[in-house]
Structure 1
Amino acid sequence: MKLRLHTAAALLALAAVTTAGAVTYQVDNKAASTAGGQRFDREYGADYAKQVLAAASSFTWSVFRQTSTADRKPVDAVVLAVSDVGGIASTSGNTITLGAGYVAGITGNDFKTQVTGVLYHEVVHVWQWGLQDYGSYPWVYEGIADFVRLKAGYIASGWVQPGQGNSWEDSYSVTARFFDYCNSVKPGFVADLNAKLKNGYNADYFVPITGKTVQQLWQDYKAKYGN
């Protein structure tokens, strides 16, 4: 645990230095009069949130192997809006909406860690390619977002364990765990998949990346964990 937190802190410092000139990070607390908005200001804060957005962007680029700005989506600013809306969080374009009600209801002594994990997931949606196909294949995009969150060390309580799940299309942590396996079969799998998503999703992408179909990979994945 200490190692992960130290690593995250190092990423924050690195991102603050290396990405400030290329992308701006903005925070707008639109729910400052609510319990959640007040808790956000008190226990998280806009300055810390900006550092997290920068670190999450830098980490996402590293996972996607996007060393040059030319490789990335043309985004000039990442915006976090804390709003009095239902749900945990959502992303549209370059704007992440964090639910004030969710913030108010967080329990446990790892408040910052929980919020940061959510922000890492949502930042991926800002940068990943192919969201024009999200409505047809949401599991792909949510799986990639949770994969990045997984690799950053922000696993949420309630996530499935490796090998669990009924289908690679179960989305979120199930797909993220499966993609983690695919990434072990072919290092850089998620980076390659994300690059291909620029032209939309196709199930055939798994073959040129890994040499196996998605069905074969899923069977191997389940067999590895005995289920």
Structure 2
Amino acid sequence: MKYGLNNFVIGCVALASTHVFAEEPAQLDLSLKPVSYIGDIGWQSFRLPKVTLSRTSSVANTHWNTLDNGLIQQISYNVARLLYRDVGKAPQLPTLKIVFEDMKGVAYKEGDFNGAIIHLSAQYFEKFATTHSEQAVYDELIGVLYHEIAHAYQLDDHNYKEIGPVIEGIADVVRMKAGYVDFSHRKVGGAYDSGYKTTAFYLHWLEQTLKPNLLVELNAQLDPNDDIKWSWALFAKESGISLTESWNKYQESL
């Protein structure tokens, strides 16, 4: 795969080198997208999780076979770099298990900073593969992993029930910054608190136009140990952003 080199660090787990790239997945002619962030030698001390890959489904999936522990660790590192500015504030998961299994839906994460498990639906990816190219299926798999691993690392105010839309939106911003969200999916409508990609596109637009480093700052606001209950009103106050005005401007930009 080819990458443009600049003053950013390309996402990788070989932290001793500034520009080291993940190897191509075996057998299939597939490519990974680069992830960029400002270099910081302090992140050399970041501990990556012990990864376990487990397949319990009998559904054949060549894309699952391209995954390995190093790739999952790389995604974990990239996610942490996107969500946190300081390595000392980023959780360091001891274990991360990825399970490819028979289930409804797409994927979900369970566990906490003491160890997380991500469940992937074999049926979903089997169906997705019937109407998409090999590269598109691989991109979807990696994109889903970015979203779910973001859940394993992000802060959530211990209040998913009330603020789930922003938590899902943040996870999709991470996926977006990793290059695994199609911007052609943006459309007029919805609301800033609709969640998932609708919220993610809005947050990304805010970061690009009004508030640099918004993702890191927003994630920090969801610290469950700060004794502050997060809300969109608090976000508006802390960021100095009018939600109604900015949402309308974002809609006008589409």
- TM-score band by shorter chain is 0.7 to 0.9
* Amino acid paired to 1:86: K
* Amino acid paired to 1:204: A
Gaps of 5+ in 1: 5-9
Q: Secondary structure at the match of 1:57?
A: helix
Aligned match of 2:181: 155
Q: State how far apart, in whole Å, the 2-side matches of 1:160 and 1:133 are.
A: 28
Q: State how far apart, in whole Å, the 1-side matches of 2:250 and 2:48 are.
A: 39
Whether the 8 Å CA contact 2:52–2:98 is kept in 1: the answer is yes
Q: State how far apart, in whole Å, the 1-side matches of 2:220 and 2:252 are.
A: 28
Whether the 8 Å CA contact 1:147–1:176 is kept in 2: the answer is yes
Aligned match of 2:122: 100
4+ runs deviating over 6 angstroms = none
**Equivalent residues in 2 for 1:212-223 (5 A)?**
212-223=241-252
**Greater helix content:** 1
Aligned match of 1:146: 172
Whether the 8 Å CA contact 2:49–2:92 is kept in 1: the answer is no
Q: Which moved more, 1:173-182 or 1:100-109?
A: 100-109
Task: Find out whether 1:44 has 2:69 as its counterpart.
Answer: no
Whether the 8 Å CA contact 1:30–1:84 is kept in 2: the answer is yes
Q: Which moved more, 1:170-179 or 1:130-139?
A: 130-139
**Equivalent residues in 2 for 1:127-146 (5 A)?**
127-130=153-156, 132-146=158-172
Gaps of 5+ in 2: 5-9, 18-43
Q: State how far apart, in whole Å, the 1-side matches of 2:16 and 2:76 are.
A: 11
Q: Secondary structure at the match of 1:97?
A: strand
* Amino acid paired to 1:103: F
* Amino acid paired to 1:116: I
**TM superposition shift of 1:103:** 2.3
Which one of 80, 83, 107 corresponds to residue 89 of structure 1?
107
Q: Secondary structure at the match of 1:90?
A: strand
Q: State how far apart, in whole Å, the 2-side matches of 1:125 and 1:167 are.
A: 22
Q: State how far apart, in whole Å, the 1-side matches of 2:120 and 2:169 are.
A: 20
Deviations 1:126-167 (A, max 9, x none): 01101621111211011111111111111159x632x63320
**TM superposition shift of 1:77:** 1.3
Deviations 1:90-129 (A, max 9, x none): 1112111001111222222222211111101110000110
| Alignment root-mean-square deviation, CA | 2.8
TM-score under structure 2 length normalisation: 0.72
Aligned match of 1:71: 89
Q: State how far apart, in whole Å, the 2-side matches of 1:15 and 1:178 are.
A: 32
* Amino acid paired to 1:211: G
Q: Secondary structure at the match of 2:86?
A: coil
Aligned identity (percent) is 22
**TM superposition shift of 1:192:** 0.6
Deviations 1:16-52 (A, max 9, x none): 9868954212111122xx22xx31xx33327x24333
Aligned match of 1:224: 253
Task: Find out whether 1:116 has 2:142 as its counterpart.
Answer: yes
Aligned match of 2:232: 203
Question: Which structure's relative contact order is higher, taking Cα pairs within 8 Å and 6+ residues apart?
Answer: 1
- Matched pairs, number: 210
Q: Which moved more, 1:76-85 or 1:163-172?
A: 163-172
Q: State how far apart, in whole Å, the 2-side matches of 1:13 and 1:130 are.
A: 26
